Amino acid sequence: MEKPPAPEKPYQKFIESLRAQLNNQLPMLSTHDIEETFPWDCVKALAPWGVWGMIFPKKYGGLGLPHEIYVQALEEFGAACSSLALTAESHNSLCGNTILEFGTENQKLEYLPRMAQGEIMGAWALTEPNVGSDAKNIETTAVLKNGHWVLNGSKTFTTQGSVAGVYVIFAVTNPGAADQGISAFVAEPGKGLEIGKKEKKMGLRASDTAQLHLIDFKIPEHNLLGTLNRGFQAAMKILDAGRVAISGVSLGMARSAVEHAIASINAGRTKIPNLHQRHQESPGAGLTVDRKMISHCSSRLHAIRLLTLFAARLLDQKKAYSLYGSMAKLLSGELAMQTTTDMLDLIGLDGTRFQNHVSKLFRDAKLYQIGEGTSEIQGLIISRYLLSNPGLLRKPPET
């Protein structure tokens, strides 16, 4: 008896359609990378696919994707262009998710629909010039005067800093209280919010990164986001979820590097002496250099993808996921850096060209070991969990 066709996997068409649409944008994205310009044309072109509101509920114009699917979507972004991927991830996971999680209904209705349509981009301003990874030491202040908050200070390495239409800004509202004295605010560009230096970066050249200077920047009292003096806790919660999401980008970068190396080998363009000939002439002779590198990178890719999707499922089910999110962030960032390095070694001289795709991925990859919590910070988080509860080394809980 003939078997009925298997039911279509949920969201499969969305992922396939997104992959096709991203591929259509590759020529423009390459130009933006070379010229170091923000890809507004690509933002507008992708808006009909809902990618600027992937995790926003449908009532706010978003797609309402679960994180398990959102991570897979970001993998496609990472495979196509890691600059655009960072734009999509920070817009959704940092700025947008902070408004979604901690905003009032009026704040959500004011900003999320416009963000979902790609009408405005979102920026998340936490990092400061004099503060490293310990965000509770930020120095920007917010003082309530006559029904307005007045903000003074500077932010640095703000993604979408010079192009955003809405900012989530963290500032000290109770000096001396450390992590119990920081609040979050939502604001639009205006007098007193000045764009500073736009960063010229080694990689991610089509991602906008800028300094912000807040000089008596006045915003209405109701622009407080969430609870007064609880902004640090809000930031940490948002970063926890963001680490799961950004892991998807790193996975896409690693996958794309392997895909391009395989294409290079199969097309005979590799410049490692006799490597392609050995690949062709003695396929059964043993584990050649190219096969070893590809098999190891691909095995790590699949293993870390499973870990990332596991963390995403826990997040969707509102279960404890932070340990696995930090593990995914740590390993995926290292995977992106190591895989792009290995694949450059594999393809040889072609990889020295500035416009080579693997060369671009290599330049971009370092950020994914740094942004949204460095690899060292992830190691600190993971070790704290394990030292207090060694039982976590055993099989993780079922979802």
Residues designated catalytic: 372
Cβ atoms 393, 386 nearer than 8 A: yes
Which amino acid is present at 277? Q
Q: Distance between CA 263 and CA 350 in Å, rounded?
A: 12
Residue 206 tokens, joined? 């089509």
Which amino acid is present at 327? M
* Contact partners, residue 321, CB within 8 Å, separation at least 6: 240, 244, 311, 312, 314, 315
For 140-168, b where at least 16 C-beta lie within 10 A, e where not — what string? bebeeeeeebbbbbbbbbbbbbbbbebbb
Cβ atoms 242, 71 nearer than 8 A: no
Q: Distance between CA 16 and CA 256 in Å, rounded?
A: 15
Burial class (CB in 10 A: 0-12, 13-18, 19+), 13: exposed
* Contact partners, residue 210, CB within 8 Å, separation at least 6: 158, 161, 162, 195, 196, 197, 198, 199
Torsion sign across C-alpha atoms 252, 253, 258, 262 = positive
**DSSP characters for 259-304?**
HHHHHHHHTT---STTHHHHHHH-TTSS--HHHHHHHHHHHHHHHH
Q: Distance between CA 126 and CA 120 in Å, rounded?
A: 19
Cβ atoms 98, 184 nearer than 8 A: yes
Cβ atoms 184, 169 nearer than 8 A: yes
Cβ atoms 220, 238 nearer than 8 A: no
For 30-52, b where at least 16 C-beta lie within 10 A, e where not — what string? eebbeebebbeebbebbeebbbb
